[in-house]
Copies of this chain bind each other. A is one copy, B any other.
């Protein structure tokens, strides 16, 4: 099938770009002697996971228990659920462990650690302590007295084993230069290496020292003391990552194919059928790429940008395209365009299937998981 025949909007994955992105990150982690545990929250696809884990131990990171169950059902046995677990989720986690999964949970809370440690049936749960390396999302601040308290509880409790420490240098997304990203990468590394040292000095085990976001995994200079990296969006990249210098435009593997549905020269616009649902309402890349809008228009075959055309506004099923000069003749009603999205993680979530492309040929269809149930 050709892109011209695809019902739109639909999400596309460029096979060659995906292969290049996953191979590059795999080699980079190998070069630094650190394991790659790719974060599957962006792709949510076993077909992508198989490629992302090549050359490494085969474990992945997930953002929901639904993802953990999905990847386990498709043959991936080692999974880190990298969002703070709550006690009500433990029966679901235990059920997966009982089926044979190696599942690592994370916590930043003394009460939750007590609930994990107190569980008495089944195998002990493997738990990492989350450290806040500067993102201020979740995790213990450096130097928190709770680190040893939680470590002791998890190590002594019959229901838990202390697996180590984990952090996410998400504040790299706030950087303006590669130099700043390198500083965040070092902050991220130091936060968990120091926490691991604190645990070990207190006689506690800390086999895993886990860090990583795409910007810090791409630009970091040293990963000494880390045992694994957990980047995710590098498989696809997007305008936000382009703006952060994580990739070039030729690396952007995810796009949305859309159809021109209206010419409105009196408003200086062209309208496509990819709106807020098809692209997502995320405009986060604007900090780095001022004209990112909801995405850039590129040629469906060459993927070269069409002038400076971008989606400047989005209603549910309407995307409004503006630019210095709109080539209406080149883009008649019914013609196809590709849109390089602002934020791939949000855009991909609107679809249940990736159309895998080579040029303008659809060569495969890969299902993806959505939702939490």
Task: Mark A residues whose CB is within 8 Å of B.
Answer: 7-10, 41, 63-64, 83-89, 92, 108-109, 111-112, 132, 136-138, 141, 170, 259-264, 266-267, 269, 271, 273, 276-278, 280-284, 315-318, 320, 332-334, 343, 345-346, 349-353, 370-373
Closest to A62 in B: B317
User: Within the assembled complex, what's the spacing in Å between the Cα atoms of A64 and B315?
Assistant: 13
Whether A333 and B7, one on each chain, are in contact in the complex, defined by CB atoms closer than 8 angstroms, is no
Contact of A63 among B266, B269, B284, B316 (CB under 8 A): B316
**A317 CB contacts on chain B under 8 angstroms:** 41, 63-64, 83
Contact of A261 among B86, B261, B266, B271 (CB under 8 A): B86
Whether A277 and B170, one on each chain, are in contact in the complex, defined by CB atoms closer than 8 angstroms, is no
Main DSSP-derived SS at the A contact region:
loop
**A264 CB contacts on chain B under 8 angstroms:** 132, 136, 138
Whether A7 and B92, one on each chain, are in contact in the complex, defined by CB atoms closer than 8 angstroms, is yes
CB distance from A169 to the nearest CB of B (A): 13
User: Within the assembled complex, what's the spacing in Å between the Cα atoms of A64 and B259?
Assistant: 13
**A263 CB contacts on chain B under 8 angstroms:** 109
Whether A84 and B350, one on each chain, are in contact in the complex, defined by CB atoms closer than 8 angstroms, is no
CB distance from A150 to the nearest CB of B (A): 13
Closest to A351 in B: B371
Q: A109-B333, A316-B63, A349-B350 are in contact. Are A259 and B141 (CB under 8 A)?
A: no
CB distance from A348 to the nearest CB of B (A): 10
Known: A138-B261, A138-B271. 5 other contacts (CB 8 A): A84-B333, A86-B333, A138-B264, A281-B283, A350-B371
Q: A138-B271, A170-B315 are in contact. Are A86 and B334 (CB under 8 A)?
A: yes
**A273 CB contacts on chain B under 8 angstroms:** 83, 86
Q: A280-B281, A318-B138 are in contact. Are A372 and B83 (CB under 8 A)?
A: no
**A373 CB contacts on chain B under 8 angstroms:** 7, 10, 352-353
User: Within the assembled complex, what's the spacing in Å between the Cα atoms of A111 and B64?
Assistant: 48
CB distance from A64 to the nearest CB of B (A): 7
Q: A138-B318, A332-B111, A372-B10 are in contact. Are A83 and B261 (CB under 8 A)?
A: yes
Whether A9 and B372, one on each chain, are in contact in the complex, defined by CB atoms closer than 8 angstroms, is yes
Whether A136 and B63, one on each chain, are in contact in the complex, defined by CB atoms closer than 8 angstroms, is no
User: Within the assembled complex, what's the spacing in Å between the Cα atoms of A52 and B84?
Assistant: 40
Contact of A84 among B261, B276, B332 (CB under 8 A): B261
Contact of A136 among B8, B83, B267, B282 (CB under 8 A): B267
User: Within the assembled complex, what's the spacing in Å between the Cα atoms of A7 and B86?
Assistant: 11
Closest to A271 in B: B138
Whether B346 and A277, one on each chain, are in contact in the complex, defined by CB atoms closer than 8 angstroms, is yes
Whether B137 and A88, one on each chain, are in contact in the complex, defined by CB atoms closer than 8 angstroms, is no
